[in-house]
Amino acid sequence: MKTVSIVGGSGYGGGELLRLLLAHPCVDVKQVTSRSHLGEYVYQVHPNLRKRTQLKFSDPAILESVDILFLAQPHGQAQHHIEEYAKLAPKIIDLSADFRLRDAAFYEKWYGEKHASPDWLSKFVYGLPELHRLEIGTADYISGVGCNATASNLALLPLIKADLLDVSAPVYVEIKVGSSESGAEGNAGSHHAERANVIRTFSAFGHRHTAEVMQEMGLNNISLTMTAVDLVRGVLATAHARVKQDVATKDLWKAYRAAANENPFLRVVREQRGIYRVPEPKILAGTNYADLGFELDESTGHIVAMCAIDNLMKGASGSAVQCMNLMMGWEETMGLEFMGLHPI
């Protein structure tokens, strides 16, 4: 059994991580910190954990040494304390955005401020196993992934890997998201009376996760457009792009099937009958799956590539646990076996 702690456990990402780690057969959770809920039982904030743990939120200033330290704080915290954290644990997985980008100038461009620990950027591996499985296996420091970036990256992954995309054409990614993306704190617009029933395009351009897609996909001419819909958990990314000349549906099938075969959490959903013919986030709640789909207009080369995930799982805490498994040499799917629910 390895010891683990979570810094920042009262948010949605931290709570989801705790749920996964409590059920994980190889780890023992030592501490979960929260300044605002210090001393409360974690089940008072995350009511699903009632009768499953008697842990209380502890003070983030008093951290014990552990084998693996998870950082689940808001953006901009970890980069100021990474030296201290590194003394406490040989392995660190940071779910925030602080160490996702490899280039300090690129970070500054997208986040509007200088990075506090630019030397650490190169020590972290981007924590998406479908892109960096081998590096993750030997890494000590792993960054989390942006949920919208993950849906976008995985929607495009089979096309990029098989080199089917015409990169001279722009890629427009339309992303629809649930309300858990706005975090546990919420904001004026997340009040249920205002947020229910919405189709609200809160960002047409410039979402910060765009940077991760550019970096990981090697694409420059790409935009992410974000629309909030009435759902709690879930993201669907729909990428509109152009394939290379003469690429046909059968080539896409091959590329997508290869991706699904090589990755335990990727599935291709492209059915001719039934209700669930395409990737849909609702059935992924609580699972680590990324469901992929595509449609091609062979006459124009216009491809609609889709990826559905649970933003708190494959888009955050699930990928983090998957990375932990790889980093520790455990079965990649360990602790991530939940199948999801139907109906839901």
Q: Where in 220-259 is the site for its own copies (CB under 8 A)?
A: 221, 223, 225, 227, 229-234, 236, 238, 240
Residues binding its own copies: number (CB under 8 A): 93
Angle, CA 221 vertex, CA 260 and CA 110 arms, to 5°? 95
- CB of residue 343 to its own copies, shortest distance in Å: 4
- Whether residue 8 contacts residue 60, with contact meaning beta carbons closer than 8 Å, is answered with yes
Annotation says 323 is catalytic: no
Subset of 129-168 contacting its own copies (CB under 8 A): none
Among 88, 116, 304, 334, binds its own copies (CB under 8 A): 304
Q: Which of 95, 47, 135 is nearest to 317 (CA)?
A: 95
CB-wise, 80 or 276, nearer to its own copies?
276
- CB of residue 326 to its own copies, shortest distance in Å: 19
Q: Does 180 engage in binding with its own copies (CB under 8 A)?
A: yes
Tell me 123's DSSP state: G
Q: Does 218 engage in binding with its own copies (CB under 8 A)?
A: no
- DSSP line for 119-175: GGGGGEEE--HHHHHHHHHH-SEEE---HHHHHHHHHHHHHHHTT-B-TTS-EEEEE
Q: Rounded to the nearest 5°, which phi and psi values hold at 16?
A: -65, -40
Q: Rounded to the nearest 5°, which phi and psi values hold at 245?
A: -55, 140
Q: Does 196 engage in binding with its own copies (CB under 8 A)?
A: yes
Among 23, 26, 86, 334, binds its own copies (CB under 8 A): 23
- CB of residue 101 to its own copies, shortest distance in Å: 20
- CB of residue 172 to its own copies, shortest distance in Å: 5
Q: Rounded to the nearest 5°, which phi and psi values hold at 97?
A: -85, 0
Residue with tokens 């909030």: 228
Among 9, 129, 158, 281, binds its own copies (CB under 8 A): 281
Q: How many CB atoms lie under 10 A from the CB of residue 45?
A: 20
Q: Of residues 26, 147, 307, 323, which has the active-site annotation?
A: 147
Catalytic positions: 147
